[in-house]
Structure 1
Amino acid sequence: MPALVAFNRKWRVGSDDFVFPGVISVFIRIAWLGAAAIVYGTQRKLLKCPGGDVLEIYHIGLLSWLVITILLESYMVRVSAKGSIANVEPRRYFPKLLYLRLFIFILEMGWSALGAYWVFREIETNDEMETCDESVILLVRATVVCSWVLLLLVLLGGLLLLSPWKKPGQRDTHQDTHQGDVDDALMKSTQLRWERRCKWLCCCVGSDENTQAAYTDIANLLASLFYGLDVVISDIAAGLILLRSEQQQQCASITSSAASTPGHQAPTAPPCLRKPTEPASSHVADAAHFLKYAGSAYGYLFYLFENLCCGSCKLCGFYRCCGGCRGGKLDRHDNCCECNMAVIKKVNKLDKEDVVYFSYHNRIYEIPFFVAIDDHTKSVVVSIRGTLSFKDALTDAVAEAEKIEVEGQEMYAHKGILQSARYIKRTLEENQVLEKAFHKVPDYKLVIVGHSLGAGAAALLSVLMHSKWPKLKCYAFAPPGGLISHEGVLFTSSFVLSVLYGEDLVPRLGLGTLETIKEQLLDVVRRSNTPKHQILAGACRRACCCVPDRLPVHVPEDRYTVRDHIESSDTSSTELVNKNDPVTQDRTSYTDERIDIEGTERNLQEVTRQLYPPGHILWVVESDVIESGCCRGGEPIYQIKWASCREFSQILIGPRMVADHLPGKLQRALDQLTENMPQVGGPGHETMNPHA
């Protein structure tokens, strides 16, 4: 940091990124030097033949260039290792070393070209005299070919590292233009560049009106987020490692039971709902049951991924080979054997007649979902699939806030997910899916579920349908953090339950937290005095040596744990939100519930533009681990508690932040909690009855 500038171009690397490539190159060249020296030493006598002087000259030249290159690259590694990420002064002469290395590289290529001409051309055309032994000539030819392969790899690596971005002095060409106009022009060019990258990356997605609009929205967002940053990928990687270490140190120093996440709270921390007074354990059984519906919406590929050994065998009895030719197929977007339908029936123990509607149609803003009748909980379940394709990823990335008005209340929501929720609502209404389902089972309740992107769509779909179905319930498993404004959090508090696990990244991910993590990364990188190669090497060493890397999570004393079997004190309160909670009684009293972070008052309009997870939040964490080996984490002991949006206002850096998002981990945790919890009721018990 900043990016290396050489040959009047920006590079995708910094001057301190040549340590590991340089060391690898030096070792390869040392091995190549040893092999070439052995060949020359053992075959030198055989080179005393007609034409052998040419081969001997080439070998001597090759050995000389290898020695020069090894010495030069060793010195470049030494210079690149100096200083810290932000302190580039000790490496100020590194570009000049690159110029010298390029000069040596050109000479190497010239010598290799001359050697190729001697070996492949001159000796073959020398018919006036006998030449050296054929085996010697073949050996030297192999040496020439290997030299060219090594040189071409170096050339390809250099071209990949060169940035296609603007030249460093490009900004100075606008001498007669105001500074603001220059910034606008540069921002516009940055947006166009990000839009081209999106189109190139998602070239297989297709092109329609929604796709083009999504590219533009994503490009504007990325340009705003990264504009003005002069960092490279390795700076970000090192910054994440440093930030992870800092978060662990801060977490270890926390002594107050009120603080439950490491690090200081982000300046955009939201006003929070009061936590329900009923025990969190009363919702575990229902959450475990409906998570199966949310997980099965991913289809057979995800099912096979989670059941690598015998997943296909488990589905054998549920396939419907050539189902499309038999008629009665619910949706044309499944494959011919209805493999996705097989997963839904297998996981949720449903008959085909129980699946009222099934759509695997997938485009931007249009995600797969199904509707089923669950006799076990007496529910009509709408299950929405999470992110599983580039189209879904584009929907996720359209993350700016869009204003909506529901039941006379204004709120903001994630634009891409809101479009998906509107699509599902429109599909349900056009096909009268819910009306047909409730015609069969008029006494059942409506439950909407989803995981990840599907959780966000389920929550927003619940918001859109609440006026027509006021007693519906929604289970949002690992919903995106930047989903709905704090007015929406209050609005959804009575019918949406978010269930999160561990250090999951997605519920913490939003425009506010991204901006915060960017500032924290820049700050920790600037403060660090450790060279980048030591930071990266230390992280690799900890990973290879199976060093535990998990942030401790503090859980207040009112938690429910499997180990302690804490009995719920009062299970008679059957609503998701306490009826006596003033937040539920009066949604307009949210200003009384605001939490002032670091003593600063924020403007209400600014707060409403921040987006958070919906409704009340159940948080499942690992409280302890039973060790069972070096490279295994052992069997975790789970805890579950009520949490607030404020506890997810900072991204936790670590290897678990992606793994904890998988629905399988949350399913295992909820199943274990269900098996060991006090028996307060099973799935569908009174707590989740919307008619209560």
Structure 2
Amino acid sequence: MPALVLFGRRSRVGSDDLYCPALFMVLYQVPLLLVAVLYVSVWRSCSSMHFSHRGVPFWFMLGAIPLYGFMLCVYLMVVHVSAKGTIIDHERRMLMPRLLHVHIVWSLIMVSYGVMGLYFWYAGDLCMPDAEFVLVLAAAMVAEVSCTFTFGFCILGGAPHHETHEIVMEPNGNATSSERQALLDEVERSIPNSDVYVPQQQRWERRCNRCCSCIRCFTCNLFGGAGTQHDSMSVVAHVFARLFYGSPDLVISDIVAGFILLAAVQAREDADMLEQADEEETTLAELRRRNKKNLETPNRPPSASMDSHHHHRERGDSYIAIEVPSPPPSSSSVAPESDPELVENVLEFAHFSKYAIGIYGWMLYVWSHPWSGTFRLAFSCMKKNLPYIHGDNFFHLHQTALQLETNVRSQDIVYASFHNSVYRPAFCVVLDHQRKEVVIAIRGTLSLEDCLTDAIAYGMSLDDVAERWGCDGAGEHAHQGFLHCAESVYLDINRLGILEMLFDPNSNASVSESEVNICEHGAYSDYGLVGTAVLLSIILRPRYPRLRCLAFSPPGCTMSKGLANRCDEFVTSIVVGYDIVACSSLNSAEDLRDQVIDLISRSKVGKSEILRQVVAWKKPHELLHEESNYGNSAFGLQLANYRTMLQRIQANEPIHEMTLPGRLIHLRRTAVHPEGGGCWVCCRPGRSVCCTERSDYHFHWSSSEHFRRIRIARTMLDDHFPDKVHHVLQDCASRLRQREFQCV
């Protein structure tokens, strides 16, 4: 920061972003310069030094030496200047615009010289093989200038005009008090010079529409998108405009560097916690060992013990023995694998996870079975068209994938809808005869419409819903998009009379044979009811008190804390590893934003060194100051203005605090085994295209308080994938069954 200004326009990069491009161009220039020098001094064969067509190769190569030499010096200066200062200390890079102006002028000279060389090679009668040298260097000049100018157009094309603000600086580099007060008084004025944070809701709406259109184009509508032209897009735009409203003058690379710094800080925190835990465990084990040794020692008279103690004190090497007995077997000290309720819940999750991934259809099936999924679908998709399965394609691929994942018969599928739009997710109602349960499985995020639903993350009051359906939730809030989805699915189930047909033998509800798999009324009245959607379960709970909800990787912004606590009786959630979705909410996103900006202000090294942190890990104190040291600089004024603006926004439009629902089980990996890299990792069983470890996970009861902050980790995205959650649960279940078998 700030963004580099050229020709009165604010570019999309900073002056410290040109380090890598300039370094690459240096590596590109050096071989060409060596070729020109070696040709003039050693390699010249048929050309002469006369001013004729036979001397063209020599004089062209000779003229290329100063051209390449000067351009090489320009690139070296760009590398040197770009590496100066820190992200916020941009005054040491003030020479960068002038260097780029010189580069542009010299590039025009080079491209003219290269075009002239190509003309001589094409039209002139140059001797061979010297003409080939002319062709190579001339083409290299034209290609280099074309690439650099294309890069320049990419960072300047469509960029807004730069608005200059006069800032009177004191001799020590700080802004004067009058200017500082003037800037702080302008908190209502947005800061337009930012690629990351923009205040206009309309601008975000256009961006979202363009993004959806591009994804639809590049994926050939594979992930939907036709339903994204929806009124709710304005709500999504409002969410993003609220989250990214105004900021200091930052560019994208500044945000990337901030995330790298945050990852380094969090990794160091984890390492310190593990080290502290190991030390505590070692100390406790040593104390217990001493205690056990003392207990095994024959009893001595108290006087002897006191004399011995006095003798030790006189020697000056006395110590105080602290008796730390082994803890009694209680609920708090029992190992998680020995908690019967926890084990039962994990086994239950492992059993019903097949329905949670089966409803995703053929795309997730191919993703999770990259080597055999296509063939299984191809040889199994010749199925009869079933009237109670809606929204499937011509080859019945969704139905096939559902049956392959769940191993259910077609007659056990009561109803399935793969139609998808905003607020209308795919879902199915399936009979599980093994556990005597009716399962309602609702699909998570797979299409652009689902992403749009997820992004409508404001808290919505449940008062109207509680009054309309007679359910719990009065005075509480829930995720707006998820709440609309829950009501949509409930209306479909209620309209079709599915649950009444299955559970109520006295029901007179008429069920359409063209939409639902008809069975005798009340035939499954002794079955339980299991759902995978929390808000739908809350709506259904008054009519079906035996209902239980198993929430697989729910978002951290599902419902308010009071309602989450009231759901403990029938809702259990499970989270794997560092799942970013489980930590995601508007509050955690704002905290993440503020942390990144704070780390940017504390950085004490350049951006190039921060980017090297990806491959050469350093300790945070080598990259960051203890406290922000921007003082009264221009960045400090912008940051103070920005934070004051955020405080006013939060006061005028507060965000409801949301959390994970029900009781929470957390699965974390403990053992780390060295594994080979490359594509061969994917060939092992239980691996998908995106491979991370899926075994050696342990589980324990957790609290939603542990998921209030987003953590940057290698597996934070993959830990949310439904197929990984399924395989991790299967691995845990297999280990539990093995242990039970060994005990027997």
TM-score of the alignment, normalized to the shorter chain, above 0.5: yes
- 8 Å CA contact 1:365–1:423 kept in 2: the answer is yes
Residue number in structure 2 paired with 1:646: 705
What displacement does 1:444 show? Answer: 1.3
Partners of 1:436 and 1:494 in 2: CA distance? 26
- 8 Å CA contact 2:578–2:716 kept in 1: the answer is yes
The answer to which structure, 1 or 2, has the higher relative contact order (CA under 8 A, 6+ apart) is 1
What displacement does 1:226 show? Answer: 1.9
- 8 Å CA contact 2:198–2:246 kept in 1: the answer is no
Residues 1:417 and 2:482 are matched in the alignment:
yes
**1:117-152 CA distance string (max 9 Å, x none):** 44445x3xxxxxxx3347655653454333222211
Unmatched 5+ stretches in structure 2: 167-181, 278-331, 504-520, 619-649, 682-691
* Code of the aligned partner of 1:415: Q
Partners of 2:381 and 2:226 in 1: CA distance? 34
SS in 1 for 2:231: helix
Partners of 1:483 and 1:31 in 2: CA distance? 58
Partners of 1:209 and 1:672 in 2: CA distance? 38
Residue number in structure 2 paired with 1:300: 362
More divergent stretch after superposition (341-350 vs 363-372): 363-372
More divergent stretch after superposition (6-15 vs 345-354): 6-15
* Code of the aligned partner of 1:309: W
Residue number in structure 2 paired with 1:547: none
- 8 Å CA contact 1:625–1:635 kept in 2: the answer is no
Output aligned runs, 1:530-549, within 5 Å: 530-541=605-616
Residue number in structure 2 paired with 1:571: none
Residues 1:3 and 2:3 are matched in the alignment:
yes
- 8 Å CA contact 1:2–1:14 kept in 2: the answer is yes
Q: How many residues align?
A: 583
Q: CA, structure 1 residues 149+502, in 2 after alignment: closer, same or farther (shift >3 Å)?
A: same
Residues 1:622 and 2:669 are matched in the alignment:
yes
Instruction: Please report the TM-score for the alignment, with normalisation by the length of structure 1.
Output: 0.76
Residue number in structure 2 paired with 1:231: 250
Residue number in structure 2 paired with 1:399: 457
**1:235-290 CA distance string (max 9 Å, x none):** 22222222122123333444898xxxxxxxxxxxxxxxx99997422201100011
Output aligned runs, 1:98-177, within 5 Å: 98-120=100-122, 123=124, 131-133=125-127, 137=131, 140-162=134-156, 164-169=158-163
Q: CA, structure 1 residues 605+477, in 2 after alignment: closer, same or farther (shift >3 Å)?
A: farther
More divergent stretch after superposition (662-671 vs 246-255): 246-255
Q: CA, structure 1 residues 311+536, in 2 after alignment: closer, same or farther (shift >3 Å)?
A: same
Counterpart of 2:401 (choices 343, 352, 373) is 343
**1:24-77 CA distance string (max 9 Å, x none):** 111011123334445665345336785344454443333322111111111110
Partners of 2:612 and 2:190 in 1: CA distance? 38
Partners of 1:635 and 1:319 in 2: CA distance? 29
Unmatched 5+ stretches in structure 1: 124-130, 258-273, 450-457, 544-602, 683-692
Counterpart of 2:99 (choices 67, 90, 97) is 97
Residue number in structure 2 paired with 1:34: 34
* Code of the aligned partner of 2:260: I
Residues 1:483 and 2:555 are matched in the alignment:
no
Q: CA, structure 1 residues 90+212, in 2 after alignment: closer, same or farther (shift >3 Å)?
A: same
Q: CA, structure 1 residues 185+140, in 2 after alignment: closer, same or farther (shift >3 Å)?
A: closer
- 8 Å CA contact 2:377–2:401 kept in 1: the answer is yes
SS in 2 for 1:503: coil
Residues 1:609 and 2:603 are matched in the alignment:
no
Q: CA, structure 1 residues 212+241, in 2 after alignment: closer, same or farther (shift >3 Å)?
A: same
Instruction: Please report the TM-score for the alignment, with normalisation by the length of structure 2.
Output: 0.71
Residue number in structure 2 paired with 1:687: none
- 8 Å CA contact 2:583–2:709 kept in 1: the answer is yes
What displacement does 1:501 show? Answer: 0.7
Q: CA, structure 1 residues 304+541, in 2 after alignment: closer, same or farther (shift >3 Å)?
A: farther
What displacement does 1:511 show? Answer: 0.5
Partners of 2:567 and 2:113 in 1: CA distance? 73
- 8 Å CA contact 1:485–1:608 kept in 2: the answer is no
- 8 Å CA contact 1:52–1:132 kept in 2: the answer is yes
Q: CA RMSD in A?
A: 3.5
- 8 Å CA contact 1:356–1:437 kept in 2: the answer is no
What displacement does 1:418 show? Answer: 2.0
Partners of 2:245 and 2:651 in 1: CA distance? 27
Q: CA, structure 1 residues 540+436, in 2 after alignment: closer, same or farther (shift >3 Å)?
A: farther
What displacement does 1:380 show? Answer: 1.2
Partners of 1:299 and 1:170 in 2: CA distance? 54
- 8 Å CA contact 1:421–1:461 kept in 2: the answer is yes
State, as a whole percentage, how many aligned pairs show the same letter: 28
SS in 1 for 2:705: helix
What displacement does 1:375 show? Answer: 0.7
Counterpart of 1:431 (choices 485, 496, 503) is 496
SS in 2 for 1:223: helix
Counterpart of 2:572 (choices 476, 485, 497) is 497
What displacement does 1:445 show? Answer: 1.6
Counterpart of 1:291 (choices 327, 349, 353) is 353
Q: CA, structure 1 residues 333+106, in 2 after alignment: closer, same or farther (shift >3 Å)?
A: same
* Code of the aligned partner of 1:417: F
Partners of 2:367 and 2:541 in 1: CA distance? 36
- 8 Å CA contact 1:81–1:533 kept in 2: the answer is yes
SS in 1 for 2:416: strand
Partners of 2:238 and 2:159 in 1: CA distance? 17
Q: CA, structure 1 residues 432+142, in 2 after alignment: closer, same or farther (shift >3 Å)?
A: farther
**1:278-321 CA distance string (max 9 Å, x none):** 7422201100011111111222222122212222344456322x
Structure with higher Rg: it is 2
What displacement does 1:606 show? Answer: 9.6
Partners of 1:207 and 1:539 in 2: CA distance? 35
Partners of 1:155 and 1:474 in 2: CA distance? 58
**1:587-630 CA distance string (max 9 Å, x none):** xxxxxxxxxxxxxxxx9999981111111111111233345679
Residue number in structure 1 paired with 2:638: none
Q: CA, structure 1 residues 626+655, in 2 after alignment: closer, same or farther (shift >3 Å)?
A: closer
Partners of 1:604 and 1:353 in 2: CA distance? 56
Residue number in structure 2 paired with 1:241: 260
Partners of 1:196 and 1:343 in 2: CA distance? 36
Q: CA, structure 1 residues 43+612, in 2 after alignment: closer, same or farther (shift >3 Å)?
A: same
Residues 1:660 and 2:719 are matched in the alignment:
yes
Output aligned runs, 1:42-61, within 5 Å: 42-43=43-44, 45-46=46-47, 51-61=53-63
SS in 1 for 2:549: strand
Residues 1:674 and 2:737 are matched in the alignment:
no
SS in 2 for 1:494: coil
Partners of 1:309 and 1:61 in 2: CA distance? 58
Partners of 1:160 and 1:540 in 2: CA distance? 28
- 8 Å CA contact 1:82–1:91 kept in 2: the answer is yes
* Code of the aligned partner of 2:3: A
Q: CA, structure 1 residues 605+167, in 2 after alignment: closer, same or farther (shift >3 Å)?
A: closer
- 8 Å CA contact 2:227–2:422 kept in 1: the answer is no
Counterpart of 1:83 (choices 82, 85, 88) is 85
- 8 Å CA contact 1:370–1:382 kept in 2: the answer is yes
**1:447-488 CA distance string (max 9 Å, x none):** 112xxxxxxxx1122122223333211111111111211132
Q: CA, structure 1 residues 627+189, in 2 after alignment: closer, same or farther (shift >3 Å)?
A: closer
Output aligned runs, 1:422-571, within 5 Å: 422-438=487-503, 439=521, 440-449=523-532, 458-541=533-616
* Code of the aligned partner of 1:426: L
SS in 2 for 1:500: strand
- 8 Å CA contact 2:359–2:442 kept in 1: the answer is yes
Q: CA, structure 1 residues 604+413, in 2 after alignment: closer, same or farther (shift >3 Å)?
A: farther
Q: CA, structure 1 residues 153+436, in 2 after alignment: closer, same or farther (shift >3 Å)?
A: farther
